[in-house]
Amino acid sequence: MSKSRYRQRLQKDLDRWITGGLVAAENRDAILSDIADAPRGWSASGALAILGAVLMALAAISFVAANWTHLGNLVRLILVFGTLWACFLSSGWAFGRQQPALGHALALLGAALFGVAIVLVAQIFNMSSWRYTVLSIWAVGAIGTALVIPSRPVLILAALLGSSWVWAETFNPYAPGILWNYLPLWAVTVIAASRMRSLVTANLLAIGINVWIIFLLWDYAQDGRLSELQSSSVLILACGASAMLFAAFRDREWFGFGALANWATTLALFSGFIAQFPLDRFEARLGRNEEAIDGWLEIAGVSGPDYWLLAGAFMAILAGALAWRFMTRPATRTLTIPTLAAALAALLLPSLAGWLGGESILVLRVIVGVIVFALAIALILYGSREGRRYTGGVGIALFIAQTLYVYGETFGDLLDTSLFFLIGGLLLFGLSIAVIRLQKRITADAGAPS
Amino acid sequence: MKLSIRLILVAAAMSAFLIAMIADHNIRRTTGDEVILNLEPVDPRDILAGYFVILSTPIHQIDLVEIAGDDEFSVDGDIYVVVEPDDDGSWQPAAVYSEPPSDGLYIHGKVQTASVSRVSAHYNLERYYADEETARALEERRRTDRASMRLIVSVSGDGRAIIRGLEIEGERVIAPFL
């Protein structure tokens, strides 16, 4: 609904509520002015100016990339430097003339030209070791600009550059280990995003931090320090811990942390879902060749210190955030037991796999399958509450994905799968009837004379 | 503080960083010792900086069996290659170390891969940026007459190397900074 339409509707509702005695007449103007003060999404002129700045920034990047030899190095440097200064000075002038849309667009172009200038210098001196570090330096420059103004469009650029940096280094075979420098950059950007109420930035930061977590685990897994199941378990716990931590901040009304929590929740559930894949692959291999049992250790792994260090740390964060929410947000208490149970299952899954051994692969697959189904159902039930639609939606998506997956892959043979679905279906029907009876009893108790 | 002043400070901070970057590289390029290396280029394109020629020289792939110095290197670790000129003026690796050597002209790099007999390393000398036409011409020359091209490098006292230009059929091609 557009703001003007909302205002018209609110005016009518307010008049009706004042007539009905629900709202004091003297509060009418204050309520309407509060609507006027609230930050707007964007205007047509602002959007066009920002899009224009984006295209001009791309023109500058392409111009530098073309390495046009008709202009000397010094002329090109002066051109880029001059434009950068002109953008920032014009931006200050535009803000002073109460033209914020133009001011933001020019500041965005100025911040973009900072990166263009770094690329130009790197090109002039044939630098080859800079190529991803440039994104981090550029992001720092953009964050500085965004904080000084403050400017949401420039902050979006900073988040985009930070996420691009961690993404590029993830796929860079020469990346120097874990990118710890991303964390302070991320933290500063996320605080700025929360203060400036930038949802786009929050979503970009969510992508960045999740890529960073995957990068961290990949670094451990490629050295053989984590097996496939251990990697899956740590990923589930890492995403679960960050989801719970972000949700705790969301509970305290920190803007943008809802988006961060939603991304982390989705990735945690997706990680749980794909944890089944190595088990399926092993069972298929075992069916073709009995000697494949020797490969079980590669999947289950051994209880090395690296696993328990990582998994234990994330489990502690998750438990701490869960306890915090339990104490400060009573409405979230129903989620405590399913979350703890799922986290413990993820933590102990590699040990359980090692203990059962490769011969009991079917039992393990059924256990994991049941846990995924149970978690999906718990989320759907939790999502039936007001304001928890995203959680419910993710639960439904997980349930559908798991159902199709089990049907496609089958547990043992088709008869076993059919029996699995039959028992599951009967259990859900029974649960549904129990819930209906419980609700009726609660309604009857509430209506009975005391 | 007024917003205009704050934006000027941002622009000044960005400019100071860029000027420091330019000054550092230009000083190293102009004042370092000159080393000429044989090369084998190919031309890809960078999404930001445009076309470039990938450079590979004798110091990029080193046979540890034939070269003096240390025998063990770790991935991501430091490598110091002592270089000496041969009869035709091309500089060749003479020894490799994991710590800076006490004498000789050396180039500092980072180890990419290492085995008992070979080590490959990067020295910030792996790209030569050019416009599309020049990059393709260099690639064509590589296919037809590889020996006609050499890389001119400036090496500072701490071993950091910066590309100064190319030597094509004995003629120096060095783009002036100014």
pLDDT in tens, A192-208: 999 999 999 999 999 99
> A67 or A263: which carries more pLDDT confidence?
A263
Does B27 lie at the interface with A, CB-CB under 8 angstroms?
no
Q: Give the pair of three-digit tokens for residue A229.
A: 């199941």
Number of Cβ within a 10 Å radius of residue B87: 5
Does B17 lie at the interface with A, CB-CB under 8 angstroms?
yes
Mutate which of A126, A147, A178 to test chain B, going by most B C-beta atoms within 10 A? A126
Which residues in chain A have Cβ-Cβ distances shorter than 8 Å to B51? Answer: 65, 67
The residue segments making up the domain with residue A25 are: 1-38
How much is the pLDDT for A403?
80
Q: How far apart are alpha carbons B120 and B107 in whole angstroms?
A: 14
**What band does A416 get if pLDDT is binned at 50, 70 and 90?**
confident
In what helix (H) or strand (E) does residue A231 lie, and over which residues does it extend? helix A228-251
Q: Percentage of residues in chain A with pLDDT exceeding 90? A: 36
Mutate which of A89, A91, A125 to test chain B, going by most B C-beta atoms within 10 A? A125
Closest to B108 (Cα-Cα) out of B44, B27, B28:
B28
| Number of helical H runs and strand E runs in chain A | 18, 0
B 146-175 residues inside an 8 A Cβ radius of A? 162-163, 175
Which residues in chain A have Cβ-Cβ distances shorter than 8 Å to B10? Answer: 88, 110, 141, 144-145, 148
Q: How far apart are alpha carbons A158 and A204 in whole angstroms?
A: 10
> A387 or A307: which carries more pLDDT confidence?
A307
Does A39 lie at the interface with B, CB-CB under 8 angstroms?
no
Mutate which of B6, B18, B112 to test chain A, going by most A C-beta atoms within 10 A? B18
Per-residue pLDDT of chain B (178 residues; tens, 9 = 90+): 788 899 999 999 999 999 998 888 888 888 888 888 776 655 567 777 788 888 888 999 999 988 999 988 988 889 999 999 988 888 999 999 999 998 899 999 989 888 888 999 988 888 888 888 888 888 787 777 777 888 999 999 899 999 888 888 888 887 666 5
B129: nearest CB among A107, A123, A174: A123
Does A67 lie at the interface with B, CB-CB under 8 angstroms?
yes
Residue A449 has pLDDT above 70, yes or no: no
> A204 or A10: which carries more pLDDT confidence?
A204
**What band does A1 get if pLDDT is binned at 50, 70 and 90?**
very low
Cβ neighbours for A362, distance < 8 A, ≥ 6 positions apart: A283, A411, A412
B100 SS3 class: coil
pTM of the model: 0.77
**What band does A303 get if pLDDT is binned at 50, 70 and 90?**
low
Which residues in chain B have Cβ-Cβ distances shorter than 8 Å to A93? Answer: 4
Please name the residue of chain A whose CA is at the shortest distance from the CA of residue B154: A125
B1 SS3 class: coil
DSSP state of B172: E
B7: nearest CB among A69, A141, A148: A148
- Taking residues A21-30, what's their average pLDDT? 84
Does B130 lie at the interface with A, CB-CB under 8 angstroms?
yes
Cβ neighbours for A312, distance < 8 A, ≥ 6 positions apart: none
- Give a yes or no: residue A356 inside a domain: yes
Which residues in chain A have Cβ-Cβ distances shorter than 8 Å to B165? Answer: none
In what helix (H) or strand (E) does residue A22 lie, and over which residues does it extend? none
A141: nearest CB among B14, B76, B126: B14
**Are A255 and A384 within 8 A, CB to CB?**
no
- Residue pairs between chains A and B whose CB atoms are closer than 8 Å: 134
- Taking residues A24-29, what's their average pLDDT? 84
Please name the residue of chain B whose CA is at the shortest distance from the CA of residue A104: B7
How much is the pLDDT for A143?
95
Q: Give the pair of three-digit tokens for residue B55.
A: 């450079």
- Determine phi and psi for B164, rounding to 5 degrees: -100, -35
- Give a yes or no: residue A100 inside a domain: no
Q: Give the pair of three-digit tokens for residue A381.
A: 């039930």
- Give a yes or no: residue A183 inside a domain: no
Does A85 lie at the interface with B, CB-CB under 8 angstroms?
yes
Which residues in chain A have Cβ-Cβ distances shorter than 8 Å to B76? Answer: 176-177
- Give a yes or no: residue A346 inside a domain: yes
**Are B149 and B171 within 8 A, CB to CB?**
no
- Taking residues A96-117, what's their average pLDDT? 93
Q: Give the pair of three-digit tokens for residue A438.
A: 């419980």
A126: nearest CB among B112, B127, B131: B127
Does A134 lie at the interface with B, CB-CB under 8 angstroms?
yes
How near does any CA of chain B get to the CA of A205, in Å?
A: 22
Q: How far apart are alpha carbons B43 and B46 in whole angstroms?
A: 10
How much is the pLDDT for A189?
96
Does A98 lie at the interface with B, CB-CB under 8 angstroms?
no
**What band does A40 get if pLDDT is binned at 50, 70 and 90?**
low
Q: How far apart are alpha carbons A300 and A279 in whole angstroms?
A: 9
Cβ contact B50–A107 (<8 Å): no
Residue A284 has pLDDT above 60, yes or no: yes
> A159 or A72: which carries more pLDDT confidence?
A159
B175: nearest CB among A73, A117, A149: A73
- Give a yes or no: residue A67 inside a domain: no
Mutate which of B7, B17, B124, B136 to test chain A, going by most A C-beta atoms within 10 A? B7
Q: How far apart are alpha carbons A154 and A304 in whole angstroms?
A: 45
Closest to A161 (Cα-Cα) out of A182, A178, A192, A187:
A182
Q: What is the pLDDT of residues A355-410, one digit of tens each?
A: 888 888 888 888 888 888 888 888 887 777 656 778 888 888 888 888 878 777 76
Cβ neighbours for A78, distance < 8 A, ≥ 6 positions apart: none
How much is the pLDDT for B40?
62
Number of Cβ within a 10 Å radius of residue A416: 13
Does A31 lie at the interface with B, CB-CB under 8 angstroms?
no
How near does any CA of chain B get to the CA of A96, in Å?
A: 8
What DSSP letter does each residue of B55-99 carry, written as one string?
---TTTEEETTTSEE-----TT-EEEEEEEE-TTS-EEEEEEESS
Q: How far apart are alpha carbons A107 and A189 in whole angstroms?
A: 17
Does A125 lie at the interface with B, CB-CB under 8 angstroms?
yes
CA dihedral A305, A318, A394, A424 (to 10 degrees): 70
Peptide bond preceding A39 in cis form (omega within 30 of 0): no
**Are A179 and A217 within 8 A, CB to CB?**
no
Cβ contact A67–B112 (<8 Å): no
Which residues in chain A have Cβ-Cβ distances shorter than 8 Å to B78? Answer: none
Q: What is the pLDDT of residues B97-142, one digit of tens each?
A: 999 998 899 999 989 888 888 999 988 888 888 888 888 888 787 7
Distances (CA, A) of A366 to A271, A361, B97: 17, 9, 56
> A436 or A18: which carries more pLDDT confidence?
A18
Residue A140 has pLDDT above 80, yes or no: yes
Q: How far apart are alpha carbons B64 and A338 in whole angstroms?
A: 58
Beta strand pairing status for B68-69 and B91-97?
Answer: parallel
How much is the pLDDT for A399?
84
Q: How far apart are alpha carbons A270 and A240 in whole angstroms?
A: 11
Which residues in chain B have Cβ-Cβ distances shorter than 8 Å to A137? Answer: 17
Q: How many domains does chain A fold into?
A: 2
Cβ contact B46–A174 (<8 Å): no
- Give a yes or no: residue A18 inside a domain: yes
- Give a yes or no: residue A46 inside a domain: no
- Give a yes or no: residue A214 inside a domain: no
Mutate which of B2, B4, B9, B10 to test chain A, going by most A C-beta atoms within 10 A? B10
Residue A446 has pLDDT above 70, yes or no: no
How near does any CA of chain A get to the CA of B168, in Å?
A: 18
Report helix angle A228-251 to A199-222, nearest 10.
150
Residue A22 has pLDDT above 70, yes or no: yes
Cβ contact A126–B26 (<8 Å): no
User: What is the ipTM score, two decimals?
Assistant: 0.74
A96: nearest CB among B4, B18, B50: B4
A277 SS3 class: helix
Q: How far apart are alpha carbons A144 and B138 in whole angstroms?
A: 41
How near does any CA of chain A get to the CA of B67, in Å?
A: 25
Cβ contact B7–A149 (<8 Å): yes
Residue A110 has pLDDT above 50, yes or no: yes
Q: How far apart are alpha carbons A395 and B115 in whole angstroms?
A: 50
User: In which residue are the tokens 């783009």 written?
Assistant: B175
Residue A139 has pLDDT above 90, yes or no: yes
**Are B108 and B79 within 8 A, CB to CB?**
yes
A253 SS3 class: coil
Which residues in chain A have Cβ-Cβ distances shorter than 8 Å to B122? Answer: 128-129, 174
How much is the pLDDT for A137?
93
As a whole number, the mean pLDDT across chain A is 85
